[in-house]
Amino acid sequence: MADFRLTDDDHALADGVRAGTRRALAKAITLIESVKPEHQTRAEVLLDDLLPNTGQAFRVGITGVPGVGKSTFIEALGMQLIEQGHRVAVLAVDPSSSVTGGSILGDKTRMDQLSMREEAFIRPSPSSGSLGGVAEKTREAMLLCEAAGFDVIIVETVGVGQSETTVAGMTDCFVLLQLPNAGDDLQAIKKGVVELADIVVFNKADIDPVAADRGAAQMRSALAMLRPSSANWQPPVLTVSATRRIAMADFWATAEQYRQAMSESGELAAKRRRQSQAWMWQLIDSGLRARFRRQPSVATALPKLTEAVEAGLTTPAAAARRLLDMPGHAFDNLKFD
């Protein structure tokens, strides 16, 4: 970004973020979420300027079906962490809002206590765009929160489509919240979410402790059959009550153990490097795809070729090759000298 400089206003904005001002942080996030090209350029410059101030936080992803108690859990956890002197940012990835027009995560009043606290920052999911777009903005918002001195970043998502994989791909520790009724754990296993989990938590254990213990035991044996993603960590299964705030301290102690084990073995740094690379490639892929579609020759030929593929008049492979070989698309402008 050598040709771009921060404007005076954005300099002040960057300083405001670094000073931990919530208003500056909110404004900076609004800038990165803007779809206006001039805002995007300013956002890139701002992020580059703040990048040296990022990376220090513990990034925790939390998922679970609607109603499992995510917001209750995050509020209880957040309050506990604040008591211990942490500053906590809560972000969300909710692609459902762009698909259904309504949000699964964001509409109701959530986390009343936490949202009143100076030491907390709560930001709902960007409300438009594909999952990729929403995730990209959330990743950038996470960096801004880190620059603003928040040392625990919680990214919440619901079990919709690919959103769990996406959030697991941007956090250090991925937590799956479960309900203590039979069958729920099997659903999660089928969907492959359990493979992503570093910690599994059965919430609402106060309602039926026996069922919670049974669910936890089933989950432990299911996890034991999976190949652990690390030689230094077997995902533990806990039971808690978010409303009664039972065993929330145990949960955080477990998360801290995870962080320590992964840091000492070098796996956390390796994971973050992999995540950054994957993120870059995701942006390259979506950027190339967008440029490809904008090429006049491709834009003209695409509808006819799509129809031909649908009608069985040509194979997808032949159609793809013809489109990719069309002159004047993105690659022709690349120079490698």
Closer of 194 and 247 to ligand GDP (Cβ): 247
Q: Which of 163, 256, 178 is nearest to 217 (CA)?
A: 178
Q: How far is the CB of 104 from ligand GDP (least distance, A)?
A: 8
Closer of 92 and 323 to ligand GDP (Cβ): 92
Would you state the torsion angle of the CA atoms of residues 302, 280, 48, 89, taken in this order, to the nearest 10 degrees?
110
Q: Is 54 exposed, middle or buried (0-12, 13-18, 19+ CB in 10 A)?
A: middle
Chain contacts with ligand GDP (rule: CB under 6 A): 64, 66-72, 203-204, 206-207, 241-243
Q: How far is the CB of 108 from ligand GDP (least distance, A)?
A: 7
Closer of 55 and 66 to ligand GDP (Cβ): 66
Closer of 166 and 239 to ligand GDP (Cβ): 239
Q: How far is the CB of 282 from ligand GDP (least distance, A)?
A: 27
Q: Residue of minimal CB distance from ligand GDP?
A: 69
Closer of 77 and 255 to ligand GDP (Cβ): 77
Closer of 171 and 241 to ligand GDP (Cβ): 241
Q: How far is the CB of 10 from ligand GDP (least distance, A)?
A: 35
Q: How far is the CB of 226 from ligand GDP (least distance, A)?
A: 24
For residue 159, give every residue at least 6 positions away whose Cβ sits within 8 Å of its Cβ, in sequence order, or none.
63, 64, 65, 188, 191, 193
Closer of 59 and 204 to ligand GDP (Cβ): 204
For residue 166, give every residue at least 6 positions away whose Cβ sits within 8 Å of its Cβ, in sequence order, or none.
93, 131, 135, 157
Closer of 126 and 180 to ligand GDP (Cβ): 180
Closer of 58 and 251 to ligand GDP (Cβ): 251
The span from the CA of 68 to the CA of 176, in Å, is 10
CA-based end-to-end distance of the chain? 19
Q: How far is the CB of 213 from ligand GDP (least distance, A)?
A: 15
Q: How far is the CB of 113 from ligand GDP (least distance, A)?
A: 13
Residue 286 in tokens: 């979506």
Q: How far is the CB of 155 from ligand GDP (least distance, A)?
A: 14
Q: How far is the CB of 198 from ligand GDP (least distance, A)?
A: 19
